[in-house]
């Protein structure tokens, strides 16, 4: 059987059908992978199964894990369920793709690393930003020494969907999302992406966290991710303990220095990841709001721009882009390409690491979050 046929014989089951669960379903289907089962809470699962045309709905994840027609389980529920569901899925003999952040704390993420290692199954974390072609190309350029030694990295991950005091989501509550919010939710995407590009993890941090809305208004009733305000909603006030925005200084294991800004209260920035790598030969920068273009900076020659899939862009994303130049590949495509990497590893039984994030990578980001919190509390540099 060809590798493609082996990939297409794998069958997925999804736990969680809110914002990101359907993104997984769509990406898997674009790869020709069947999504055989879905799970959500009892009052949501039937409607989700009908909307997404998935044949086997389950109102409990334990029931989904018994389904013999599921080989790979995708955990797309709020953070507090990731550890329990991932461990149970590995225990049921399934491969696992878990959403980020991998767990609520390093006690949980270390348990997942251990279970994944002994399971003989593939365990991946959905750090999808790695799969923007520009990010893969930057990684290639750094590994080839094209930018020289990377002196420092600058960037940010900015959003505005929690800008208003009435904006509500489970992520605002530490018991649902973890002690850190903006940093864990989106900052870890940036930190994973830059570590991936550099081939070097974060070893020390100095962080300053802030909560602009010290109290917020919680709508009475459940609200979905990215839901809009509604004039008829009734609210209850609650104190906020998680970060709206943060500034973090970083030291990578290879000596590169970095600085990162994170915010979920940055009006006008819907979902903006910006990376700037400053090398001893030249600079390179990229922004997710303009995903197809890589920029290069020179001290003496004119600066350059390169459009994806043109010769000027380079070959570093070969195999992980499907469309010609000018036919934009963006957020949904990064999931498709991440799953291409993960499902290829499952189909081929690959023992060497692929491009996707592993349980160890997910654990590292949770450890960085804990160091960031300790640094903020102690007002000092902290080792990861
Ligand atoms: N990689 C990315 O780009 C990306 C983007 C968004 C979210 N995420 C991650 O995905 C996860 C989910 O986020 P979201 O924005 O989709 O949240 P969401 O609130 O929109 O959806 C979560 C879903 O899980 C369901 N659920 C809750 N408890 C459950 C249980 N016990 N069993 C089954 N289903 C249950 C909810 O009913 C809901 O449908 C989070 O960990 C988040 O960090 C990742």
pLDDT value at position 222?
A: 66
- Per-position b or e across 255-288, b if 16+ CB within 10 A of its CB: ebebebbbbbbbeebeebbbbbbbbeebbbbbbb
pLDDT value at position 30?
A: 98
Mean pLDDT across the chain, nearest whole number? 96
Indicate if 130-329+341-383 has the same CATH topology as 3-128.
no
- Residue spans of the domains in the chain: they are 3-128, 130-329+341-383
Do the beta carbons of residue 13 and residue 74 sit within 8 Å? yes
pLDDT value at position 223?
A: 66
pLDDT value at position 53?
A: 98
CATH class of 130-329+341-383: alpha beta
Per-residue model confidence as pLDDT tens digits over 235-246: 999 999 999 999
pLDDT value at position 346?
A: 97
Pocket around ligand 1 at a 6 A CB cut-off: 15-21, 39-41, 44, 61, 76-79, 81, 99-100, 126, 128, 170, 185, 224-225
Distance between Cα 46 and ligand 1 center (Å): 17
Residues of the chain with pLDDT under 70: 222-229
Distance between Cα 285 and ligand 1 center (Å): 31
| pTM higher than 0.85 | yes
Distance between Cα 39 and ligand 1 center (Å): 11
Please give the CATH topology (third level) of the domain spanning 3-128. Rossmann fold (3.40.50)
* Lookup: tokens for 256: 């590169």
pLDDT value at position 367?
A: 98
pLDDT value at position 225?
A: 66
pLDDT value at position 232?
A: 74
Do the beta carbons of residue 161 and residue 167 sit within 8 Å? yes
pLDDT value at position 350?
A: 82
CA-closest residue to ligand 1 atom 6: 20
Phi, psi of 262 (to 5 degrees): -130, 135
Distance between Cα 186 and ligand 1 center (Å): 14
């Amino acid at each position: 059987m060809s590798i493609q046929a082996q990939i297409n014989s794998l069958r997925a089951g999804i736990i969680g059908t809110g914002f990101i669960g359907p993104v997984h379903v769509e990406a898997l289907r674009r790869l020709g992978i069947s999504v055989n089962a879905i799970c959500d809470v009892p009052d949501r699962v039937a409607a989700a199964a009908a909307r997404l045309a998935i044949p086997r709905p389950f109102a409990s994840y334990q029931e989904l894990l018994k389904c013999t027609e599921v080989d790979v389980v995708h955990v797309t529920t709020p953070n507090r369920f990731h550890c329990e569901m991932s461990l149970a899925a590995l225990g049921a003999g399934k491969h696992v793709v878990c959403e980020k952040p991998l767990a609520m704390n390093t006690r949980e993420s270390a348990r997942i690393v251990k279970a994944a290692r002994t399971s003989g199954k593939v365990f991946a974390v959905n750090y999808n930003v790695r799969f923007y072609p520009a990010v893969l190309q930057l990684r290639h350029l750094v590994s080839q020494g094209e930018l020289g030694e990377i002196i420092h990295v600058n960037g940010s991950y900015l959003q505005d969907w929690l800008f208003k005091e009435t904006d509500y989501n489970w992520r605002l509550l530490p018991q649902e999302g973890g002690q850190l919010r903006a940093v864990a939710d989106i900052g870890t995407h940036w930190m994973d992406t830059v570590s991936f590009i550099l081939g070097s993890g974060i070893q020390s941090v100095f962080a300053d966290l802030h909560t602009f809305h010290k109290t917020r208004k919680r709508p009475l009733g459940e609200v979905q991710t990215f839901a809009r305000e509604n004039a008829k909603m009734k609210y209850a006030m609650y104190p906020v303990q998680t970060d709206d925005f943060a500034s973090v200084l970083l030291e990578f294991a290879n000596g590169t220095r970095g600085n990162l800004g994170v915010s979920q209260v940055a009006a006008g920035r819907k979902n903006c990841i910006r990376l700037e790598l400053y090398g001893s030969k030249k600079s390179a920068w990229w922004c997710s709001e303009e995903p197809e273009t890589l920029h290069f900076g020179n001290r003496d020659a004119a600066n350059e721009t390169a459009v994806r899939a043109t010769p000027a862009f380079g070959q570093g994303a070969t195999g992980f882009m499907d469309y010609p130049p000018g036919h934009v590949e963006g957020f949904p495509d990064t999931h498709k390409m991440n799953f291409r990497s993960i499902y290829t590893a499952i189909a081929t039984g690959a023992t060497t690491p692929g491009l996707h994030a592993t349980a160890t990578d997910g654990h590292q980001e949770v450890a960085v979050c804990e160091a960031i919190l300790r640094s903020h509390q102690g007002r000092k540099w902290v080792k990861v």
